[in-house]
């Protein structure tokens, strides 16, 4: 986890460019307190970055490496010098697969590998209370509360899009389902669940929507070319009912054939998307991730076809599926059972195919007068160079209606801090005109008066999810622990209490999952 310490620099320094693997947030997942505010503005579409939302004179290099020795103000050597960089920039992300897969792994009696834990996906798995905008674009909510560790607070930046409208109001969809039918998909809860869910989903799509189906095992086959539903739903059902597990997993062939089918059946004015249903355990044919990823990226750039990854199975290639979705301007979810499948295929996918924002990025500017140190929780492979925030050539996230995006920061305030603490700005392109827009929200230091466990219940849920992710990747020296962290026992009690307060089934499942983790030893 990156750490930033802030101060006012005596001189400006050039910032090192960061080469970001920018994840594209997805379009298909659906269904405030604090200093939300600001007005949505049309801004120039410059290819070079404009001034950042914060004062230009305080910008700096951004990162101090551990063990660096620099001279302090008194000339004495010290291990590190506080960095002048107080900006944090990332591409928006609504992936939730990491949390879903962790739940499945713990339910099977195993602790998940720390490398599969992405805290932002835990945080974004839960309903939020942000105010929604009236039209396309975002609302911005910034709030926070103090932890039990001195001078440390958790600050929540919440972005929300309008709720999804009626199905008839969205553009038609052209969906190419690329379905893994390898032998491993014969495990209960994989292909059988996909068949059932796809059949129900077919009945919920509109007559002017189109569906194609590609299957892959050791080879790939287009079993149904792009077909307008209308009076042809029977053909789609027949293709779905005929899906049976066979041999090995040639994921490369599936991606290649799937995108070729999607390109051939591409519809102007429609939402063109590939939906990959797989355990992502490539073991046959082209298994080189970079080669597979290049096909995804090429189709996105040339034809605007995005990817939605649906992960299944107790053994799951999490890293590959996430990278595929990143390259494909999409996002990933993990389906562990019937409830998850129904939510993804039967509710979210048919209803939320619309698009409200392209290449969305967020930048949070912390005030060096009040903030001594901050770090973003998660988003490790979503980071964007600060200078690229307003460079619209740099890829961001594609976001649909009904989405919320939450970013959580650990913030150490200066003793007696008073006044402005942070400004959060989101920038996006109109999906039709490509015109850029921005919206901002502010947070004052005085708004951090509440103790975390007395704060807004939804902020507490966010904190519990982040602390849980933190606990699951403990022992990995790449990340520092969050301030004010609790043991799993206390964390489970907090989650159970919040489940009663919010009457939210998802929060109850979180409490149960934390209890399972507490009872499982590495």
Compute the average pLDDT of residues 118-122: 97
pLDDT band at 43 (very low <50, low <70, confident <90, very high): low
pLDDT band at 393 (very low <50, low <70, confident <90, very high): very high
Q: Give the model's pLDDT for residue 6.
A: 43
Is 319 in contact with 95 (CB distance < 8 Å)? no
- Residue 38 vs residue 450, higher pLDDT: 450
Residue 303 has pLDDT above 60, yes or no: yes
Separation between Cα atoms, residue 15 and residue 11, nearest integer Å: 12
Residue 8 has pLDDT above 60, yes or no: no
Q: Give the model's pLDDT for residue 298.
A: 75
Q: Which two tokens stand for residue 108?
A: 């099977």
DSSP 81: -
Residue 54 has pLDDT above 50, yes or no: no
Separation between Cα atoms, residue 63 and residue 86, nearest integer Å: 10
DSSP 57: G
pLDDT tens for 231-287 read: 999 999 999 999 999 878 888 899 999 999 999 999 998 889 999 999 888 777 666
pLDDT band at 65 (very low <50, low <70, confident <90, very high): very low
Residue 40 has pLDDT above 60, yes or no: no
**What is the rounded average pLDDT for all residues in the chain?**
82
Q: Which two tokens stand for residue 35?
A: 């200093």
pLDDT band at 463 (very low <50, low <70, confident <90, very high): very high
Separation between Cα atoms, residue 163 and residue 298, nearest integer Å: 31
| Residues 6 or more apart whose Cβ sits within 8 Å of residue 135 | 162
Q: Give the model's pLDDT for residue 349.
A: 76
pLDDT tens for 436-462 read: 999 999 999 999 988 999 999 999 999
Residue 14 has pLDDT above 80, yes or no: no
Is 139 in contact with 32 (CB distance < 8 Å)? yes
Q: Give the model's pLDDT for residue 168.
A: 53
Compute the average pLDDT of residues 405-422: 96
Residue 63 has pLDDT above 90, yes or no: no
Q: Give the model's pLDDT for residue 24.
A: 30
Q: Please state, in angstroms and as integers, the Cα–Cα distance from residue 333 to each residue in 85, 246, 345, following that order.
A: 34, 24, 11
- Residue 389 vs residue 32, higher pLDDT: 389
- Residue 334 vs residue 52, higher pLDDT: 334
| Residues 6 or more apart whose Cβ sits within 8 Å of residue 77 | 69, 70, 71
pLDDT tens for 465-498 read: 999 999 999 877 778 899 999 999 999 999 999 9
- Residue 206 vs residue 48, higher pLDDT: 206
Of 25-39, 145-159, 166-180, 290-304, where does the model show the most confidence? 145-159
pLDDT band at 351 (very low <50, low <70, confident <90, very high): low
Q: Which two tokens stand for residue 208?
A: 């002017």
- Residue 84 vs residue 197, higher pLDDT: 197
| Residues 6 or more apart whose Cβ sits within 8 Å of residue 242 | 223
Residue 44 has pLDDT above 70, yes or no: no
Which string of DSSP letters, residue by residue, matches 403-456? Answer: -EEEEEEEEEEPTT--SEEEEEEEEEE-TTT--EEEEEEEEEGGGG-SBGGGS-
Is 365 in contact with 86 (CB distance < 8 Å)? yes
Q: What is the pTM of this model?
A: 0.82
Residue 41 has pLDDT above 70, yes or no: no
Of 76-85, 105-114, 182-191, where does the model show the most confidence? 105-114
User: Across-strand partners of 155?
Assistant: 144, 409
What HEC string does 86-140 produce?
CEEEEECCCCCHHHHHHHHHHHCCCCCCHHHCCHHHHHCCCCCCCCCCCCCCCEE
Q: Give the model's pLDDT for residue 379.
A: 95
Q: Give the model's pLDDT for residue 324.
A: 87
Q: Give the model's pLDDT for residue 419.
A: 96
Residue 15 has pLDDT above 60, yes or no: no
* Domains by residue range for the chain, with CATH: 84-165+357-519 (2.60.40.1230), 173-353 (3.40.50.410)
């Amino acid at each position: 986890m990156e750490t930033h310490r802030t101060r006012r620099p005596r001189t400006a320094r050039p910032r090192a460019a960061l080469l970001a693997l920018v994840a594209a947030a997805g379009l298909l997942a659906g269904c405030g307190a604090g200093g939300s505010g600001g007005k949505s503005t049309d801004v120039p579409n410059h290819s070079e970055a404009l001034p950042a939302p914060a004062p230009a004179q305080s910008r700096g290099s951004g990162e101090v490496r551990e063990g660096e020795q620099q001279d302090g103000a008194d000339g004495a050597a010290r291990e590190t010098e506080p960095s002048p960089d107080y900006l944090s920039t990332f591409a928006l992300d609504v992936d939730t697969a990491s949390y879903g897969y962790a739940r499945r792994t713990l339910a099977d009696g195993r602790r998940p590998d720390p490398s599969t834990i992405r805290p932002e996906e835990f945080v974004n798995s839960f309903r939020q209370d942000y105010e929604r905008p009236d039209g396309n674009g975002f609302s911005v909510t910034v709030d926070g509360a103090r932890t039990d560790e001195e001078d440390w607070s958790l600050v929540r930046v919440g972005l929300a899009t309008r709720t999804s409208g009626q199905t008839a109001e969205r553009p038609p969809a052209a969906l190419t389902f690329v379905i893994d039918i390898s032998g491993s998909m014969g495990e209960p809860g994989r292909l059988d669940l996909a068949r059932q869910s796809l059949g129900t989903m077919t009945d919920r799509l509109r007559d002017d929507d189109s569906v194609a189906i590609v299957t892959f095992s050791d080879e790939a086959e287009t079993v149904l070319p792009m077909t307008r539903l209308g009076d042809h739903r029977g053909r789609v059902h027949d293709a779905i009912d005929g899906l049976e597990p066979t041999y090995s997993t040639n994921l490369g062939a599936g991606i290649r054939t799937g995108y070729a089918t999607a390109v051939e059946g591409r519809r102007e004015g429609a939402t063109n998307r590939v939906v990959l249903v797989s355990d992502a355990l490539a073991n046959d044919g082209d298994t080189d991730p970079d080669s597979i990823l290049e096909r995804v990226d090429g189709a996105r750039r040339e034809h605007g076809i995005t990817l939605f990854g649906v992960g299944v199975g107790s053994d799951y290639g999490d890293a590959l599926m996430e990278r595929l979705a990143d390259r494909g301007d999409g996002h990933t979810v993990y389906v562990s059972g019937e409830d998850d499948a129904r939510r993804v295929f039967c509710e979210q996918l048919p209803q939320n195919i619309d698009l409200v924002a392209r290449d969305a990025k967020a930048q949070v500017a912390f005030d060096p007068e009040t903030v001594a140190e901050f770090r973003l929780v998660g988003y490790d492979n979503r980071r964007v160079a600060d200078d690229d925030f307003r460079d619209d050539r740099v890829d961001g996230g594609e976001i649909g209606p009904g989405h919320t995006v939450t970013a959580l920061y650990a913030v150490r305030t200066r003793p007696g801090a008073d006044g402005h603490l942070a400004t959060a700005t989101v920038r996006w392109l109109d999906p039709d005109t490509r015109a850029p827009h921005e919206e901002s929200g502010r947070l004052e230091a005085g708004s951090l008066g509440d103790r975390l466990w007395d704060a807004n219940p939804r902020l507490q849920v966010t904190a519990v999810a982040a602390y849980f992710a933190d606990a699951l990747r403990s022992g990995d020296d790449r990340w520092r622990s969050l301030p004010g962290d609790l043991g799993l026992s206390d964390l489970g009690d907090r989650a159970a209490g919040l489940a009663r307060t919010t009457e939210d089934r998802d929060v109850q499942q979180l409490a149960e999952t934390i209890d399972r983790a507490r009872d499982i030893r590495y």
